[in-house]
Amino acid sequence: MDLARTALGGLAQEDGLVFFPEECETIAVNCVQVAQGQITEPAIHPDEEEIYVILSGEGIVWLDKEENPVRAGSVVYIPRHVEHIIEGRSQEPLTYVCVANWPDKMPAKQNG
């Protein structure tokens, strides 16, 4: 498996995936673009944590209805059970890498 990839390479995939869940133990990585004026559907994950690393553009990330302005260089942590919505607000698409972790899928610790 190629362990080093280009984040923007995920944009060539329909679902934006850079590293697929079946390739990793407990994470998936995708790259997402949100156009100016585009607002994502609300999402809540009971079994998944997420980190967003904003690569370009500007926008808003709502976490449980609290507005958080983001731009290139911002990093957002989304715990399990937190509703999140993203809106692109700049002419340049809001582009971010999403790292999703499934804590409940952690492999059992090995002895020794």
Rounded to whole angstroms, the Cα distance separating 77 from 52 reads: 7
Q: Is the pLDDT of residue 19 over 50?
A: yes
Residue 110 within any structural domain of the chain: no
Residue 9 within any structural domain of the chain: no
Under a CB-based contact definition with an 8 Å cutoff, are residues 65 and 83 in contact?
yes
User: β-strand 84-88 against 94-101: which pairing, if any?
Assistant: unpaired
Number of domains in the chain: 1
Q: Is the pLDDT of residue 99 over 50?
A: yes
**pLDDT tens readout for residues 32-80:** 999 999 999 999 999 999 999 999 999 999 999 999 999 999 999 999 9
pLDDT score of 85: 98
Tell me how far the alpha carbon of residue 53 is from its chain's centroid. Answer: 7
Average pLDDT, the chain: 87
Residue 4 within any structural domain of the chain: no
Q: Would the pTM count as exceeding 0.85? A: no
Domain that residue 77 falls in: 16-105
pLDDT score of 111: 43
